[in-house]
Structure 1
């Protein structure tokens, strides 16, 4: 087996070398293969750097594609054309380009390309990766109106407050005598618990406890990694055998089966409990006005929608319910803990901002609220600087630095460049948030820079749904993330309580020299861009 694999790789290398030699011998510039149509029509295609046969520009992406694409944009402009394997892809890297793609020409840029991994892992029936059309419109409406509405979000306030209390307890219990805490682990557990309770309720499906929680965490990590993977068969169909050789095929099948089995158990249990008679309530309550509304999770709501009379006639099959739940799980878990991790890291490296925010949080728990054990959601509106800190964190560290791929539904244009139908489109939210053309001191953490009207809002989560195209961490337009409003109180409540209950310091073993920031902000790329190393901090309980 090893000999066969080695032989296959050697043959592939030989083939690539031959093609490179052929192109160089006949004098063909691979980059010209993309540009040769530039004179078609009245407008030119976007500029493009030179590429390679077969690979196109894949080799230029590197381990941190958002940074590599920003560097390419600096040389080729805010709208450029790349070929990723055999697929033409336009990259937008400026606020003006983002606004035109997600507002002015939103409909033309609202498609999604067919991605093999999304179809394999999400049943081809989810919302985030679904092609633009009637199913997507109805499914997204279900998410926006029934799952992630302000009313439904508010119904989980008790769960959030219980889990944030558990987060503070976990930080205290993690003290090994030095006060050092792996905050990254604690934040992952918190985010997973919030989404688990919202999606599945409080039932025990093997998710709770150290063993079950760790197993789910590993499976979800594999799921998120696989969603971003590009199978070789997607680069070129005749290279599909490479996916089997590298183990990608087996890992995809194993991850899908684990998650599918979990979701089948959850849905079957919810259906059993809904039957008339002992152990079931038997009656859907889609409007969320019933006495037991606080106990209705996302699976309940989706089953309600499936049973209700509706004008659109939408019926969500089991695969659609599972796909939507996985959308929520993947996006909600990763986004929340990533934003919290970056916010704590930036505050550690900016002690003045840390002190200012702690003073605001602790000052809000005063007067008639003095003596309260925790910050609650009713306190959050008294904390404008908290919202500014989160907004600035997401400007610098967009949770999804490259927004989910779009695809043009028709021939269109972008900043004067022609973009043919069915061209893939990447919007580099990370580069847009750091664009020196629209941000002064673009690389610096300056929370007070955001005007109040552009700051993250618990009620509307305006930053994140495209109100200010200088920062688009959650996209905008038809394809904007409908879960931004659900994420807002999850992030705000956790950050406020961490700063209320504890004073934070770097471990004494930190090896940096004079002037070195306490926390290393090096990145690792994934479904979201996270800190490369776990956030290990010293937590000192604050007694008030």
Structure 2
């Protein structure tokens, strides 16, 4: 115990020497102590940034784990290369940075506190894509808030993810099941073409986006939920669903500063991700839970012979044993 106390006392000697270095005779000046600690922290950050190739996210020798240091731009402290990538086309910006840093095969750079690598060398790119260290997809804050941490797209590599992959390959993407839903896809396609023809006849021009989105949405709803909407007429349920899907894609696809500047959410949320997710998640839960309950009622508590033309909700409800999912996981997978 005495040894531990002595070690603790000795390790804090520098605190008592600060006043001497800064010209103060007492340590009771709290403002001086705060300023000193602040200067020391900033100095440490600047030193780590100056000594790290690739920027602040690659500090502490992270870019030197192999026999050769990974070259890359340092960017600016705390932010890395985040502002460089915000200008112009990102792939051209990365090409310029790679050329200026002589990174011919692999380049390290920082997006805030997120370490990143980029390569245009086919062999290196293949190694990155096949190496188990890169198996997990980075989980964005919006994906975590929207329950995607338990979905196949973002679930970490492991037993649960392999089970989801097996379920999807066996049931959702099986050739017989895809063939069984061919008539539904043909119906969605013909409906889309009719809508395009009608809009062209009435306005002389066509905005394809909403036609393509409607057909894709109906195709997914049919194969996953067993439910389709008549998009040629005004449909309140379809409009609500479209709005939810658009908001979900916006949250997942938009750049969120908080994903890369971990200190930012403690002060404010520039993209309002937390609030928007908090508004969307209850609506998603309500919609998907209603569809699951409808399927359960149609089953009447009796097991159904699952045919190839059944939807994915029926598949998930029919699973038994270790493959059976709880309702929260079902909502995450279906959404």
TM-score range, shorter chain: 0.7 to 0.9
Task: Please name the residue that 1:322 is paired with.
Answer: 331
Task: Please name the residue that 2:80 is paired with.
Answer: 56
1:217, distance to aligned residue in structure 2 (A): 2.0
How far apart, in 2, do the equivalents of 1:230 and 1:30 lie? Answer: 28
How far apart, in 2, do the equivalents of 1:142 and 1:134 lie? Answer: 12
Could you give the per-residue CA deviations for residues 156-183 of structure 1, whole angstroms, max 9, x where no partner exists? 1010011111111111111244531112
| 2:141 and 2:259 in contact (8 A); partners too | yes
How far apart, in 2, do the equivalents of 1:209 and 1:193 lie? Answer: 15
Could you give the per-residue CA deviations for residues 335-373 of structure 1, whole angstroms, max 9, x where no partner exists? xxxxxxxxxxxxxxxxxxxxxxxxxxxxxxxxxxxxxxx
| 2:143 and 2:252 in contact (8 A); partners too | yes
1:83, distance to aligned residue in structure 2 (A): 1.5
Query: Out of 311, 314, 333, which is 1:300 matched to?
Result: 314
Query: Out of 180, 183, 194, which is 1:169 matched to?
Result: 194
1:251, distance to aligned residue in structure 2 (A): 1.0
Task: Please name the residue that 1:112 is paired with.
Answer: 137
1:26, distance to aligned residue in structure 2 (A): 7.7
Aligned CA distance change for structure 1 residues 125 and 249 (closer, same or farther; 3 Å): same
How far apart, in 1, do the equivalents of 2:129 and 2:329 lie? Answer: 26
- 1:100 to 2:121 alignment: no
Counterparts in 2 of 1:369-380, with a 5 A limit? Answer: none
1:285, distance to aligned residue in structure 2 (A): 3.6
| 1:231 and 1:240 in contact (8 A); partners too | no
Q: Quick check: 195-204 or 37-46, which moved more? A: 37-46
| 2:98 and 2:104 in contact (8 A); partners too | yes
Task: Please name the residue that 1:215 is paired with.
Answer: 240
How far apart, in 1, do the equivalents of 2:66 and 2:266 lie? Answer: 42
How far apart, in 2, do the equivalents of 1:102 and 1:26 lie? Answer: 33
| 1:147 and 1:298 in contact (8 A); partners too | yes
1:247, distance to aligned residue in structure 2 (A): 2.7
| 2:78 and 2:113 in contact (8 A); partners too | yes
Task: Please name the residue that 1:82 is paired with.
Answer: 109
Aligned CA distance change for structure 1 residues 302 and 253 (closer, same or farther; 3 Å): same
Task: Please name the residue that 2:251 is paired with.
Answer: 226
Say which SS state the counterpart of residue 134 (structure 2) adopts.
Answer: coil
Task: Please name the residue that 1:373 is paired with.
Answer: none
Say which SS state the counterpart of residue 170 (structure 2) adopts.
Answer: helix
| 1:30 and 1:50 in contact (8 A); partners too | no
Task: Please name the residue that 1:158 is paired with.
Answer: 183
1:42, distance to aligned residue in structure 2 (A): 4.9
How far apart, in 2, do the equivalents of 1:38 and 1:116 lie? Answer: 24
Counterparts in 2 of 1:125-140, with a 5 A limit? Answer: 125-140=150-165
Task: Please name the residue that 2:206 is paired with.
Answer: 181
How far apart, in 1, do the equivalents of 2:48 and 2:165 lie? Answer: 50
Aligned CA distance change for structure 1 residues 247 and 27 (closer, same or farther; 3 Å): closer
1:28, distance to aligned residue in structure 2 (A): 6.1
Gaps of 5+ in 1: 1-17, 277-281, 327-544
Gaps of 5+ in 2: 1-38
1:198, distance to aligned residue in structure 2 (A): 1.0
Q: Quick check: 111-120 or 126-135, which moved more? A: 111-120
Aligned residues: 289
1:210, distance to aligned residue in structure 2 (A): 3.9
Say which SS state the counterpart of residue 29 (structure 1) adopts.
Answer: helix
| 1:117 and 1:229 in contact (8 A); partners too | no
Say which SS state the counterpart of residue 70 (structure 2) adopts.
Answer: coil
Query: Out of 63, 68, 71, which is 1:47 matched to?
Result: 71
1:231, distance to aligned residue in structure 2 (A): 4.9
Task: Please name the residue that 1:358 is paired with.
Answer: none
Using the size of structure 1 for normalisation, the TM-score is 0.48
1:190, distance to aligned residue in structure 2 (A): 1.1
Aligned CA distance change for structure 1 residues 319 and 39 (closer, same or farther; 3 Å): closer
Query: Out of 29, 54, 58, which is 2:50 matched to?
Result: 29
Aligned CA distance change for structure 1 residues 221 and 242 (closer, same or farther; 3 Å): farther
Aligned CA distance change for structure 1 residues 226 and 24 (closer, same or farther; 3 Å): closer
| 1:47 and 1:77 in contact (8 A); partners too | no
| 1:174 and 1:181 in contact (8 A); partners too | yes
1:114, distance to aligned residue in structure 2 (A): 4.0
1:188, distance to aligned residue in structure 2 (A): 1.2
Say which SS state the counterpart of residue 82 (structure 1) adopts.
Answer: strand
Task: Please name the residue that 2:23 is paired with.
Answer: none
Say which SS state the counterpart of residue 89 (structure 1) adopts.
Answer: strand
C-alpha RMSD of matched pairs (Å): 3.3
- 1:201 to 2:226 alignment: yes
How far apart, in 1, do the equivalents of 2:62 and 2:48 lie? Answer: 19
Say which SS state the counterpart of residue 52 (structure 1) adopts.
Answer: coil
| 2:52 and 2:61 in contact (8 A); partners too | no
How far apart, in 2, do the equivalents of 1:97 and 1:325 lie? Answer: 35
Say which SS state the counterpart of residue 112 (structure 1) adopts.
Answer: coil
